[in-house]
Structure 1
Amino acid sequence: MAKQKKQPRPKAQTPKGFRDYFGADVTERSEMLSKISAVYQRYGFDALETSAVETVEALGKFLPDVDRPNEGVFAWQEDDSDWVALRYDMTAPLARVYAQFQNDLPKPYRRYAMGPVWRNEKPGPGRFRQFYQCDADTVGATSVAADAEICAMLSDTLEEVGIARGDYIVRVNNRKVLNGVMEVAGVLDPSDPTKFEAERGIVLRAIDKLDRLGVDGVRALLGKGRKDASGDFTDGAGLTGSQADVVMGFMDARRDTGAETVARLRELTTGSKIGNDGVDELETIATLLAAQGYDADRIVMDPSVVRGLGYYTGPVYEAELTFDIKDEKGRLRQFGSVAGGGRYDDLVKRFTGQEVPATGVSIGVDRLLAALRMQRPETEKPLGPVVVTVMDRDRMADYQTMVTELRTAGIRAEVYLGNPKNFGNQLKYADTRNSPVAIIQGGDEHAAGEIQIKDLILGAEIAKTATVEEWKGQPAQFTVARGDLVAKVREILDAQ
């Protein structure tokens, strides 16, 4: 009888393009989302949770640079032949929800949503196939006051989570203005929106790459095309020199104040109705924000903002962090964008046949968390729980009682549940958990009604510079009455 082949063990590895989130990551994200949701609620937005799975038909084709409705998403076919997919953002599900429940929802409907989204794209450094988004949208408001409010709320949110004023900027533009510029440049025909569609797509992507490619790179893409450092050639939009000059002038239209930028954009869109409508909307947004005190140190009108997704129809905005970081080669560069959004008045129309105005913003949660970590001192790590060590296995009930007292007082705490034989290993465990305090009670302390408390944070600081004699006399470990456990631990934590 042939010997059966032994089944190979599965590989313990995360799927390509995905990652695991451990304790500190999850805790920091939860705390940040709590702060964000507090701002959103303060602005009157309600929470909404939708299914992670939508029909491909409902999601539609709005991811950039894809050719099929289910390309770029994780999709599969159900038994009844319907295609479904994991959501690639929070906005497409909102359009479906509003169309489905519009008779039951207030108008306008203001909602925020937080959670993971999935994109079946090529992963790379810092680019994952699953990531968290945090959205806020207003559906049913025609006034650009809704767009101004979103921009103000985005500014408040960044400051609430810890990004200092001066370390970020919210940049605002309008796709109508860009369409007006394209009309003036001769690559948009209002009577036939499908004409020059391919050229406009190349122009949009070129403008969106200004920060990465520079002026020369963008101009090349507006013309015949561009060859990158690897030798790959990207076809251009085929614009003439004079056409490209109009687009480049648009990208260089930002001035010192919002009013001056709006005036320059009005010059560039002369003769285009849609362009002038867009300039009027930008002017209204700038006026509303200035009236609320959101000046150019926080929010600016910036024509270089395009946004990649194809469903934006009016104002678009992007939040960029302006402080410097070092890349993998040690070069200084700015952190870049952490949030973006805009007006998408045609999205709900796919379901209802009627235009429904909508505007919203999406925050890239993982990128914002990474930015906050980069601003934090390397020595600053989230504190772990207080660790109650085990000196006597037979007195586990005593140790559990201590932990219960600490937890009841709102202090995070745990009993060491490993092998207590080696006490040094218990303190090493507390170090790996970044515990602020260790509680010690041996037989002698128990008989005397006392406990020893070890201030691990202070002890680590003293150990950096102390001599042996100073270490022996260091004040990081002391004895207190058993009844003073909670009060003394609270005192230490407050001091830390």
Structure 2
Amino acid sequence: MTGKSEKMKARLPRGFVDRSADDIRAVDEMCAKIRAVYERYGFEPVETPLIEYTDALGKFLPDQDRPNEGVFSFQDDDEQWLSLRYDLTAPLARYVAENFERLPKPYRSYRAGWVFRNEKPGPGRFRQFMQFDADTVGTPGVAADAEMAMMMADVMEALGLNGQYVIRVNSRKVLDGVLEAIGLGGEENAGRRLTVLRAIDKADKFPREEVNKLLGPGRWDGGKKGEGDFTKGAGLSQEQIDKLHALMLQSGNAGILVDEARASEAELSAGPFPGSTQYLSNRQLCKDMAEAAEENGMEQSGIDELGTIAALVDAAGYGPDRIRIDGSVVRGLEYYTGPVYEAELLAEIPNEKGEIVRFGSVGGGGRYDGLVSRFRGEPVPATGFSIGVSRLVTALKNLGKLEKRSATGPVIVTVMDRDRKADYMRLTKILRDGLNPVDENGRPLGPPIPVEMYLGNPKNFGNQLKYADRRGSPCVVIQGGDEREKGEVQIKDLVVGARLAQNIADHEQYKESRPGQITVPQSDLVVEVQKILDAQRAERA
């Protein structure tokens, strides 16, 4: 026996990340811009808990025999299965159904929050991540879907991504019609259909031959048998795969071009696409899709809906450079029933390995008319989209659209005499109130300026200055016994002091000159600190 207690090893679970103050502020800054767009469209906030009954999360999730497959689940005292939410859409459906009579219809809401996936983590793939959703419940027409696409475009513009994104729109009815045409209709093929959809959804990540493996026999992550994990394929024949690709090529990315004389005003304002002097027309694309479609009512219905969306966004002035009909958009979840859309970044951005790649999707969604209906037993149409917050923040930082901006560090009131802490606390209170004025209703008149009294061991004054430097403090307040008797305080500008100290030869010279340090009457404390803060702010600008 050594008598020493065994230390617990500090370790972060795989698939989870800690967030620093800079990361949190970057997310807050981005979300504030997104929230402003949502509220401009008339959406209001709502919040649902992180935990729901497992069966309420939807049939697209695992059944009760495998409650931990894909989701994190546990049983309560009544042996009911509960799960951490998989996304924000299924909990919203439960909330709307439970409060259906008192909510206005259509019900327009937005919410941000953490979601959880019990899946194998990997580079850029986490078990906990944040989403920011907006949904309209109670509107059957595709005007709501067109509005969602327009709002997604406006969000991208608000984040400074002009010309670096496109909102791609398709319909699950078109996809379901094609799947039915290749023999995958009916409830008995539900599992294979979902596998096909998830394979097609990876078309922007994998080359065509890799997607074909997922549609056919399956795919090894390492590229060869036995290398990495194996993903079971949908088992389609080559003929079925070729028919699917025929649909995928009917896309805005492939391009249906019309000349200037046939372009609408929105298409003209979009300007020529790179490498072309012509204009891509969403309405022309829908017309070509209709001519190529099989004799399938569901597929034709989807194409008609896409035509309506194309006309609506065109009338609102959104050209195909911003919102584009694209037959390759799938979305992997099973609950989508109509139009689906995806926000794709067109910029090339370094990945985790430093390789320059096209960033791809940062959010998406679609119509899900069946989720609320599961609880109500009557049709309740709904549509919405979700932004992947962490992924979008990473893209914005890499593009220089969202700088890492630390908030102003706190003004530090140092402690020279541990027996006079009440005096230092009074100085701290004077500064807090003076630097953070409020109106007659108690509302702040400006951004907060933090002020704190040093609460560590005051014995070594140098450690207090090191603490202030580590916190990014703009200045510190110093009052010893001599200053107190004279009714004075010293203020040390840490930014100016650091700059001046570079030209000082030795410690004795530093002590004599005290760079960046001034002595002022205590009554002028707030005014003088504010002058220092204003000067530093002007210098940064």
Q: What TM-score comes out, normalization by structure 1 length?
A: 0.86
Q: What pairs up with 1:323-472 in 2 under 5 angstroms?
A: 323-376=347-400, 380-408=405-433, 409-410=435-436, 411-446=449-484, 449-457=487-495, 467-468=503-504
Match of 2:297 in 1: 273
| Aligned equivalents of 1:266, 1:321: Cα separation in 2 | 28
CA separation of 1:442 and 1:395: change in aligned 2, threshold 3 A: same
Picking from 280, 289, 295, the partner of 2:319 is 295
- Residue 342 of structure 1: SS of its match in structure 2? strand
Q: What's the CA shift string for 1:89-121, capped at 9, x where partnerless?
A: 111111112222211111111122222222222
Tell me which moved more, 138-147 or 423-432: 423-432
For 1:210 and 1:55, the matched residues in 2 are separated by 33
The verdict on how the C-alpha distance between 1:25 and 1:139 changes in structure 2, with shifts beyond 3 A counting, is same
CA distance in 2, matches of 1:27, 1:379: 8
Instruction: Give the direction of change, closer, same or farther, for the CA distance of 1:235–1:134 in structure 2 (3 Å limit).
Output: closer
Report the counterpart of residue 95 of structure 1 in structure 2: 93
Asked if structure 2 preserves the Cα contact closer than 8 Å seen for 1:137 and 1:358, the reply is yes
Structure 2 counterpart of 1:207: 200
- Aligned position for 2:276: none
Name 2:268's counterpart in structure 1.
Answer: none
8 Å Cα contact 1:61-1:69 kept in structure 2 = no
Letter of the 1:385 partner, please give it. Answer: P
| 1:151 has 2:144 as partner | no
CA distance in 1, matches of 2:500, 2:150: 46
CA contact (8 A) 1:63 1:309 kept: no
Q: Assess, with a 3 A threshold, how the Cα gap between structure 1 residues 401 and 166 changes in structure 2: closer, same or farther.
A: farther
CA drift at 1:86: 1.8
The match for 2:225 is 231
Provide the C-alpha distance between the structure 2 equivalents of 1:146 and 1:106, rounded to a whole number of angstroms.
16
Do the aligned partners of residues 114 and 218 (structure 1) sit closer, same or farther apart at CA in structure 2, a change above 3 Å counting?
A: same
Alignment of 1:189-200 (within 5 A): 189=185, 193-200=186-193
- C-alpha displacement of 1:319: 1.8
| Residue of 247, 252, 256 corresponding to 2:249 | 252
1:208 deviates by 1.0
Q: What residue identity is the alignment partner of 2:298?
A: I
The answer (yes or no) to whether the contact 2:23–2:404 under 8 Å persists in 1 is no
Q: Closer, same or farther in 2 for the Cα pair 1:144/1:301, shift >3 Å?
A: same
In the alignment, does 2:535 pair up with 1:492? yes
Q: CA deviation at 1:342?
A: 0.9
Structure 2 equivalent of residue 187 of structure 1:
183
Contact 2:67 2:73 in 1 (8 A): no
Quote how far apart the aligned CAs of 1:307 are: 0.9
1:286–1:301 Cα contact (<8 Å) kept: yes
* In 2, Cα distance between equivalents of 1:56 and 1:379: 38
Distance 1:234 1:71, change over 3 A: closer
1:475 Cα offset (Å): 7.8
Select the residue among 327, 333, 348 that pairs with 1:309.
Answer: 333
Structure 2 CA distance for partners of 1:132 and 1:224, relative to 1, 3 Å: closer
Q: Pick which of 316-325 and 449-458 moved more.
A: 449-458
Task: Please give the per-residue CA displacement for 1:299-328, whole angstroms capped at 9, x wherever unaligned.
Answer: 222222211111011111122233333233
User: Superposed, which structure 2 residues align to 1:167-182 within 5 Å?
Assistant: 167-182=164-179
**Residue equivalent to 2:41:** 43
When structure 1 is superposed on structure 2, of 445-454 and 381-390 the one drifting more is 445-454
Q: Distance in 2 between matches of 1:26 and 1:489?
A: 27
Shift of 1:53: 2.0
**What amino acid is the match of 1:173?**
N
Give CA-to-partner distance per residue, 1:153-181, whole Å, 9 cap, x none.
22333443x34312333222211122233
Distance 1:26 1:448, change over 3 A: same
Answer with 256-265 or 337-346: which moved more.
256-265
Residue 450 of structure 1 deviates from its aligned partner by 4.5
Shift of 1:235: 4.6
Deviates more, 1:22-31 or 1:269-278: 22-31
Q: Please, what is the CA RMSD of the aligned residues? A: 3.3
Distance 1:75 1:237, change over 3 A: closer
Between the aligned residues of both structures, percent identity stands at 52
Aligned partners of 2:518 and 2:232: how far apart in 1?
73
Deviation by residue 1:410-457 (Cα, 9 ceiling, x = unmatched): 222212211223333222212222223333344555455554444444
Contact 2:25 2:406 in 1 (8 A): no
Tell me, yes or no, if the aligned pair for 1:29 and 1:369 is still in contact at 8 Å: yes
Q: Are the structure 2 counterparts of residues 65 and 78 from structure 1 closer, same or farther at C-alpha, using a change threshold of 3 Å?
A: closer
- Contact 2:25 2:405 (8 Å CA) reproduced: no
Residue in 2 aligned with 1:126? Answer: 124
Asked if 1 retains the 8 angstrom alpha-carbon contact of 2:397 and 2:404, the reply is: no
* 1:289–1:436 CA distance, 2 compared to 1 (3 A): farther
- Conservation of the 8 A alpha-carbon contact between 1:137 and 1:361: yes
Question: Shift in Å at residue 137 of structure 1?
Answer: 0.9
Whether the 8 Å contact between 1:219 and 1:248 is mirrored in structure 2 is no
Aligned-partner residue type, residue 300 of structure 1: R
Taking a change above 3 Å as real, the CA distance of residues 275 and 405 of structure 1, as seen in their structure-2 partners, is farther
Alpha-carbon distance in 2 for matches of 1:56, 1:248:
36
Q: Name whichever of 105-114 and 379-388 sits farther off.
A: 379-388
Amino acid at match of 2:346: T
* Normalised TM-score (structure 2): 0.80
- Does structure 1 retain, via aligned residues, the 8 Å contact 2:500–2:515? no
CA positional deviation for 1:15:
3.3
Shift of 1:462: 7.1
Larger deviation, residues 205-214 vs 247-256: 247-256
Report the equivalent of 2:12: 14
Residue 221 (str. 1) matches residue 214 (str. 2): yes
Q: Is 1:283 the counterpart of 2:326 in the alignment?
A: no
> 2:45 is matched by which residue type in structure 1?
A
What's the offset of the Cα at 1:219? Answer: 2.9
Residues 475 and 335 of structure 1: is their aligned pair in 2 closer, same or farther, counting only changes over 3 Å? farther
